[in-house]
Structure 1
């Protein structure tokens, strides 16, 4: 039977619930967590930080309780945070302090992300280059490749300070760790003799290796037919002028790779602002690098419309759609009025 308040009378013969006993059991659980050694909690937090797929995954753990907040900011945990932990698109004081703290703890992803932001977004060239160099010393392939782009383009200075030999050296180091864009850049440098002795055969080998790694990434992510062992009828290459065609030219539907959080920040940063029209942004949508001086980037030699900071960005933009939109530009002969 129910009362006016909606409560029911106790049933005769039913076992009575002991609220005090339930409260005691919950307090025991809290006490067990309190007596858990810090090493075990740190191991859990390190695993969480290293596998976080968004900043919310890690920050949600920090606000769980005071102990998680204290141990989560331990340098051991911050040094192992994944790149996606810093995947924010809006700069704030909290993010600035957090990523600086991770960088001081020795996190290479934090060093590289903060270095890219300082170099390209806030124009702190010396600080940004030093942070990227700190990550490059720890064999961080994207940092090595970004420093190579800076050396090739002479970013942050005049055109006369380009260091082609330094760019090739950094590019070769990044290629050693399997960086696809670095492999492709190094292959073109060898074929053209740009900053290194010309070697067409060796350059072609690097280009083929870059295409093979790109194809392997496609097979692992977006081609279940290849993984199951079924045969695919591949159409012939559509670009007969290329000695080393890309995977998209063999009929594969290529999904563009997910850009690094540093590049995603730059894309959002300059997308929300109206940059100086004299300084162009890299035409590859996943890059976000701006020019640091006028006419720093190279233009597409066919259409003359798209601008790229590197051959790696040009190749990626070609595979995701520029190969269908690229048209030769009209060239008008100069008529002598006399």
Structure 2
């Protein structure tokens, strides 16, 4: 424990600076709480730029290890070597959010596949649900390698572990895998049960969001939810059984990747023929040509996973796909886009 003042009890003026009188350990503790609850990167950076002491203690290992996911919510246009260095400091401090975010950026955006996988694996081994699910998607697609590098069983195992941690997308993905016999022995009833559970968790999420935003307001049958510049009027009920799905919380790194490949340095790859996942909240790009599967009805949209396909179908694609096929597909279980054809990797 360190005192910042050499003569704490010596009265030199009529007024004391009580901040300077605080022990370093106490300031670090306060900063770690602030970093874990910061609502944006700028909020945390403003604290560091307040004075030299806060700048020094704000980069303490404990403070960086507690930084929340929103501290890493940066825009693609703001990416720089200084930002990269800050991420590495947080990774070295053991911050799992930094490991996951930097891992995704290195793997997909900077094309440093080995380092990106290593960072995501580091977070996954500490039970980071998002990292587990992202690794599952990589295994399902063989991302960063060839078609032969797919490992469906590993993808299912990673989804199962993420679903136990309450990850809704992983739970939905696992349900579709069991229902279709994809990477695991087919069990339709268990797959449907997991899909129902995923939708129940979604409904609970919406109820909490609505009641916390307006406690005196009762939950209506429909509400307007926003994906940045895209608005969807959706009903916060079950998504796979004829109802519209609620908009979940999107991870900052997903927005980063979409911006990187749509308007940032990665747009050159998109022009060259690679595609982004059509689900607006995903942002994952192909790492090789024809890596993602396409809609079997219109052939105009592509998805990295069954979870993204199911969500996008209820949010948007149901209204854009071929009208002649929509009625028949809804009667077959509402998975959207004609279901999944496991015999052809390019069709969902």
Give TM class, smaller chain. Answer: 0.7 to 0.9
Paired position in structure 2 for 1:48: 34
| Cα offsets for 1:218-251 (capped at 9, x unmatched) | 11113689977969679xxxxxxxxx9517943x
Relative to structure 1, the CA distance from residue 319 to residue 222 in structure 2 (aligned partners, 3 Å threshold; closer, same or farther) is farther
CA deviations on 1:242-288 (whole Å, 9 max, x unpaired) are xx9517943x6x55233211111101111113423421111112211
Query: What whole-Å deviation, never above 9, does each CA across 1:304-325 have from its counterpart, x for those lacking one?
Result: 2110101121122223222222
SS at 1:33 equivalent? coil
Alignment deviations for residues 99-155 of structure 1 (CA, whole Å, 9 cap, x no partner): 110011100000000000000001111000000000001100000000000000000
CA contact (8 A) 1:46 1:76 kept: yes
Q: Extract unaligned runs of 5+ from structure 2.
A: 1-11, 223-236, 326-348
The answer to whether the aligner puts 1:210 opposite 2:198 as a matched pair is yes
User: What aligned pairs does 1:222-261 form with structure 2 within 5 A after superposition?
Assistant: 222=210, 246=239, 249-250=242-243, 256-261=247-252
8 Å CA contact 1:117–1:128 kept in 2: the answer is yes
Structure number with greater Rg is 1
Contact 2:202 2:248 in 1 (8 A): no
Instruction: Name the structure 1 match of 2:226.
Output: none
Correspondent of 2:255 among 253, 259, 264 = 264
Alignment of 1:78 onto 2:49: no
Distance (Å, rounded) in 2 between the aligned partners of 1:269 and 1:225:
31
Distance 1:194 1:73, change over 3 A: same
Q: Does 1:318 align with 2:309?
A: no
Relative to structure 1, the CA distance from residue 199 to residue 226 in structure 2 (aligned partners, 3 Å threshold; closer, same or farther) is farther
Alpha-carbon distance in 2 for matches of 1:194, 1:207: 15
Runs (5+) with no aligned partner, structure 1: 1-22, 235-243, 331-338
- Paired residues for 1:1-338 under 5 Å: 24-26=13-15, 28=16, 30=17, 32-89=18-75, 90-222=78-210, 246=239, 249-250=242-243, 256-272=247-263, 273-274=267-268, 275-327=270-322
CA distance 1:248–1:42, shift in 2 (3 Å): farther
Q: 1:112·1:132 contact (CA, 8 Å) conserved in 2?
A: yes
| Higher alpha-carbon deviation: 216-225 or 146-155 | 216-225
Q: CA RMSD in A?
A: 2.5
- Relative to structure 1, the CA distance from residue 87 to residue 225 in structure 2 (aligned partners, 3 Å threshold; closer, same or farther) is closer
- Normalised to the residue count of structure 2, the TM-score between the two structures is 0.79
- Alpha-carbon distance change, 96 to 233 in structure 1, aligned in 2, over 3 angstroms: closer
**Residues 220 and 227, structure 1, Cα contact 8 Å, conserved in 2:** no
8 Å contact kept, 2:295–2:302: yes
Contact 2:123 2:131 in 1 (8 A): yes
Say how many residue pairs are matched: 294
